Amino acid sequence: MDDPASALPLDGVAAALGRLARRFATVAVVSGRPASFLAERLGHLAGGGPGGAPGVQLIGLYGMEWVDPDGTVHLDEAAEPWLSVVEAAADRLRAGAPDGVMVELKGPAVAVHWRRAPRAGGWADERASDVVAASGLVAHPGRLSVELRPPLAVDKGTVLRRLSHGCRAACFLGDDIGDLPAFTELGRLRAATGLATVGVAVVDLETAPEVAAVADLTVAGPEGALAVLEWLVVGASNGGG
């Protein structure tokens, strides 16, 4: 998608997540998008359901933000001192950006997207390297993008470790390089604790090969991911959760 901020969940995903949250101990959406983005699209799931049923946890910016059941968005206090640094970095990245390159400020992170300007990847990488050297931020590659974030020990792997604590099994679905820490954490948990785990790579023509390489199985695109969620719903309903 040319504009990540305009992305919407595939029809059926929200309903499947809501049903899963009524059957499993923990269900979460862990995203590189801001938590406010998740709240706008999935906030109705965060508050749970009738009878005090648990809701879906909404966690944004790789763990730096999260949404309370009442819709309040919280920022990790360790990221707060970096807000002005990231804003200054965004200004530097916008200066001289080629046509079609989008610089997206996301609070404590800034992303450079060149999907609309495929030949600008070299410029983006070089400019990001310069900004990293001057700011202390860390560059994280993505799909036709690079994101600069504070040097915090927070990623999808650390989030998965926390969410899976006390659980008997864990499943993670991901489609991008930013999901690699979560896939790696699944393997670590399986080896260290005996936790039953499965990592599902959601692949398409743009998926980095290393994502599929570390997963236990692959499915084709968002439709394949939805099929996995619906299969889990049916399995839980039949006593297999």
Paired strand residues for 166: none
Question: Rounded distance, CA 121 to CA 109, Å?
Answer: 19
pLDDT digits (tens, 9 = 90+) for 107-133: 999 999 999 999 999 999 999 999 999
Question: Rounded distance, CA 184 to CA 202, Å?
Answer: 16
Span between the terminal Cα atoms of the chain, in Å: 34
pLDDT digits (tens, 9 = 90+) for 34-85: 999 999 999 999 976 555 557 999 999 999 999 999 899 999 999 999 999 9
pLDDT band (50, 70, 90) for residue 5: confident
Question: Rounded distance, CA 233 to CA 54, Å?
Answer: 15
